[in-house]
Structure 1
Amino acid sequence: MTQTTQVVVIGGGQAGLAVGYHLRRLGLDFVILDAQAEPGGAWQHAWDSLHLFSPAAYSSLPGRPMPVQMETYPDAHHVVGYLTEYERRYDVPVHRPVRVTGVHRDDGHLRVETEVGSWRAGVVISATGTWWRPFLPAVPGRRDFRGRQLHTVEYRSPGDFAGQRVIVVGGGNSGAQIAADLAHDTDLTWVTQRPPRFLPDDIDGRALFDVATARSRALDEGRPDTQGVASLGDIVAVAAVREARDAGLLKASPMFVRLDHDGVVWADGTRAPADAIIRSSFVDAPASVGGKRSSRGSGAG
């Protein structure tokens, strides 16, 4: 059976709900198809210590401010509750769990195929995010390594690795925050492509939003590119990251060149044994509800 609507939105997380808000204001007929069984998007699957790196007031979706939490930076549970209430408040037409299997042209329209039927629409909007597409590069020796290899999306808490030798790969917010999470209870090696660039300690999602907005305006007006957030650094120094950094626990090593059965190997032959390797790259990477994600934060933003 094929149903007809004006717009199909694929994904019922924060992006999909924000789109739904504006579609409703425009008076359009639409549906949101979400593969998850419950509201909350990727936030319901985040690791235990994940927080936004922006206060609630800077992390809201259109039309509905995020309630303030006791903590300055709301945790993932708070975000899930907010998204659930947002969906209910605006009576957003989310169908779940519905997994989309394909989108095809169909006589001047688009046909969205799912596991439970199809929808025909004039417009299809993809709001699936990146959490479901983790990227694990084909590092030489990857098949030889006998320990655990996992991605940010599979990480939950440091208790799962207590006393183990862990390699964390990634110099962005997710990598830094997971490394900080593990720094106290594991034998940690943090590996980054380039030396980590911490943002000034007083910079959080509020300032990043202002910097990104200023850059966008400059480009729109034909003024020189300020490089925006990239000019400041890569890692928001949230509390857990600051504490681990200041305690000397976040010392990054350069990227290794291969794996062997026991761990990682650098170009000069230096080796580091490992029980587990955690990578934090996405195609391309989830943190703030209204924007970019951090902490621990991974980044929630």
Structure 2
Amino acid sequence: MTTSLEPVVIVGGGQSGLAAARAALSVGLRPVVLEAGVEPVGSWPGYYDSLTLFSPARYSSLPGMAFDGGDPDRYPTRDEVAAYLRRYAGRIDAEIRTGARVAAVLPRPGGGYLVHTDGGDEIATAGIIAASGSFSNPYVPVLPGRDAYPGEVRHVAHYRRPEPYAGKRVLVVGAGNSAVQVAYELAPHATVTLATRAPIQFLPQRIRGRDLHHWLRVTGADLLPRAVLNRLVRHAAVLDAGVYRDAITSGLLARREMFTAFTTDGVIWADGTHEAVDAVLFATGYRPNLDYLAPLGALDDGMPRHVAGVSTTHRGLVYLGLEFQRSFSSNTLRGVGRDASHVVAALSGGESGGSRRRQLMRRSPVRR
């Protein structure tokens, strides 16, 4: 048993967890980052090989460190982002424990929490920042006939490159950026159909010679709350310089209304027709990976109960990196820093102000 200043425990060492650690340090708290993976880069190394950011490097950095290393108007690759996060982690004076998967967070007698890891550690803390993201919890809808279908069914979280699908008939389910990007990459190798519940909407990547993210910043649209965004964009919208829309209009990519069921060799489309297919890739999003909070009763069917990232069920519990947590850019590199400052302020301040900060900083045991 060792004794230490009581830490603020941050669950997750990706972009959200690192932004949270920096924000916590800036107000005098001592963060301990618990990252399940082997390095503090979050889910980035696990994305498909060709992934690039949809925002230029100049708009894709965390607070305090620009995204350097080349043309600021380039769209950084998956590996560039992972390398950037490694450098960022190295510049933060915070304790980062890798290979530390959180198994459960339990209430502590007298207040605060006990954080238990798979490795057997127990950490006492008055504050939890749940920044574990959602990549490890991909969502695949349940459809009739799935058990009888012998072909490949997987989420794009497990897709890497197009070559294994050469010559196959492939369905990609989804109408967002990942669905269209993966379908477009597959098209030269396979017969590809996009299955969506509504026509795909496109947003221009560049407007008047400037990337869309320039206009999001100068107009303040990056900060619009979700309720306003829902009125402006009814469905998922794909950022496009023209190539994706052209691929659909030219017939390189087919698009059909979502199928209703699997069969023993394919799917049944909404119009009742049958088509044999070899593989189905679901680009249907993710759900927050927060099972470790279930013992607290902080979740509602796996989803956090919160307002703008601050728990409505437990004092000293905040969230970071949730989609549309406070704005359009909440779960992005360019936006998570703003949310980190917000939730850390709520964690360290609140009604009791300085006394709350002293509670988070008091001396308390960390058991190993």
- TM bracket (short chain): 0.7 to 0.9
Residue 53 of structure 1 aligns to a residue whose secondary structure is: coil
Contact 1:3 1:119 in 2 (8 A): no
The one of 166, 171, 178 equivalent to 1:167 is 171
Contact 1:102 1:114 in 2 (8 A): yes
Structure 1 CA distance for aligned equivalents of residues 186 and 16 of structure 2: 30
Give unpaired runs (5+ residues) of structure 2: 289-322, 324-330, 337-368
The Cα RMSD (Å) is 2.6
Mark the CA change 1:35 to 1:199 in structure 2 (over 3 Å): closer, same or farther. Answer: same
Deviation at residue 115 of structure 1 after TM alignment: 1.3
After TM superposition, list the pairs within 5 Å mapping 1:34-113 onto structure 2. Answer: 34-70=35-71, 72-107=74-109, 108-113=111-116
Residue 199 of structure 1 aligns to a residue whose secondary structure is: strand
Structure 1 CA distance for aligned equivalents of residues 145 and 67 of structure 2: 46
Instruction: State the identity as a percent.
Output: 36
* Equivalent residue number for residue 249 of structure 1: 252
Contact 2:177 2:238 in 1 (8 A): yes
| 2:265 matches 1:269 | no
Mark the CA change 1:171 to 1:269 in structure 2 (over 3 Å): closer, same or farther. Answer: same
Deviation at residue 231 of structure 1 after TM alignment: 6.0
* Equivalent residue number for residue 141 of structure 2: 137
Q: Based on CA coordinates, which of the two structures has the bigger radius of gyration?
A: 2
Structure 2 CA distance for aligned equivalents of residues 58 and 267 of structure 1: 41
| 2:333 matches 1:289 | yes
* Equivalent residue number for residue 361 of structure 2: none
Structure 2 CA distance for aligned equivalents of residues 118 and 264 of structure 1: 49
Deviation at residue 248 of structure 1 after TM alignment: 3.4
Contact 1:212 1:229 in 2 (8 A): no
Worse overlay, 204-213 or 247-256: 204-213
TM-score (norm 1): 0.86
The one of 198, 208, 212 equivalent to 2:221 is 212
| 2:5 matches 1:30 | no
Deviation at residue 176 of structure 1 after TM alignment: 1.0
Deviation at residue 268 of structure 1 after TM alignment: 3.0
Deviation at residue 229 of structure 1 after TM alignment: 5.9
Contact 1:165 1:188 in 2 (8 A): yes
Q: Which amino acid aligns with 1:93?
A: E
Q: Which amino acid aligns with 2:275?
A: A
Q: Which amino acid aligns with 1:136?
A: V
Q: Which amino acid aligns with 2:103?
A: T
Worse overlay, 195-204 or 184-193: 195-204
Q: Which amino acid aligns with 2:286?
A: V
Worse overlay, 18-27 or 280-289: 280-289
Structure 2 CA distance for aligned equivalents of residues 289 and 128 of structure 1: 15
